[in-house]
């Protein structure tokens, strides 16, 4: 399952060989990499420009603001996560397995993209434009709706009791995932989000 940030094969090649959007991708890759440093509290455009060995003005030729850079990361998260959720929903017939696979995918995504985890939990968005956190909240709502639908399928298949509160179960699933993301980030990316996952899934989707 491919969940990582795509790598540009030749971001620093001659200009006539640079693919359209290659520099923007390089900026986003570098920003994501800087967020992987557990000691980094806030990534500034000055630090980002220094890492790329360009001027801050060069950054703003590709992005109107730092908020727009973070929007680029959020767009990658949204595109990847919901493509994978849709794949799971279309390929897996069991509702219970859909739930299990969606939760596993969300934790795998975090482990593969450590810098993105700080975006997911909002750490990287502190003091940034409030619309960024609102967009992340919408992502959580969409994930919760996807889990709720899978749980409804599980109930219809008698994999879960008929009186199962699918809304509460979906909310619990999101809370579990976000909690694991938080622990992963706050541990300096040492406590992997998938620790004891099978045991936890047995309780979440019992």
pLDDT digits (tens, 9 = 90+) for 148-160: 999 999 999 999 9
The span from the CA of 23 to the CA of 10, in Å, is 10
> pLDDT > 90: what percent of the chain?
80
Q: What is the band of 4 on the pLDDT scale with cuts at 50, 70, 90?
A: low
The values of phi and psi at residue 54, to 5°, are -135, 175
Give the mean pLDDT of the chain: 90
pLDDT 10s digits, 110-151:
999 999 999 999 998 988 889 999 999 999 999 999 999 999
Please give the DSSP secondary-structure letter assigned to residue 3: -
Pick the closest to residue 98 from 142, 62, 42, 147 (CA basis).
147
Mean pLDDT calculated for residue range 78-100: 97
What string of DSSP letters covers 119-167? HHTSGGGTTS-HHHHHHHHHHHHHHHHHHHHHHHHHHHTTSS-TT--HH
Q: What is the band of 12 on the pLDDT scale with cuts at 50, 70, 90?
A: very low
Contacts of 70 (CB under 8 A, 6+ apart): 31, 119, 124, 125, 128, 132
pLDDT 10s digits, 51-84:
999 999 999 999 999 999 999 999 999 999 999 9
The span from the CA of 16 to the CA of 14, in Å, is 6
The span from the CA of 154 to the CA of 157, in Å, is 5
């Amino acid at each position: 399952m491919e969940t990582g940030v795509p790598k540009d094969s030749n971001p620093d090649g001659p200009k006539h060989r640079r693919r359209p959007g290659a520099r923007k991708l390089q900026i986003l890759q570098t920003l994501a990499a800087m967020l992987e440093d557990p000691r980094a509290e806030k990534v500034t455009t000055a630090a980002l420009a220094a890492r790329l060995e360009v001027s801050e003005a060069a950054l703003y030729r590709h992005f109107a603001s730092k908020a727009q850079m973070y929007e680029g990361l959020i767009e990658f998260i949204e595109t990847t996560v919901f493509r994978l959720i849709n794949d799971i929903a279309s390929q897996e017939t069991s509702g219970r397995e859909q739930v299990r696979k969606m939760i596993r995918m969300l934790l795998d995504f975090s482990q593969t993209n450590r810098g993105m985890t700080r975006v997911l939990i909002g750490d990287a968005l502190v003091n940034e434009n409030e619309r960024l956190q609102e967009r992340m909240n919408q992502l959580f709502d969409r994930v919760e709706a996807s889990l709720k639908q899978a749980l409804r399928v599980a109930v219809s298949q008698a994999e879960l009791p008929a009186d199962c509160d699918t809304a509460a179960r979906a909310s619990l699933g999101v809370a579990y995932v976000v909690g694991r993301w938080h622990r992963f980030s706050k541990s300096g990316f040492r406590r992997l989000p998938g620790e004891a996952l099978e045991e936890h899934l047995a309780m979440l989707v019992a």
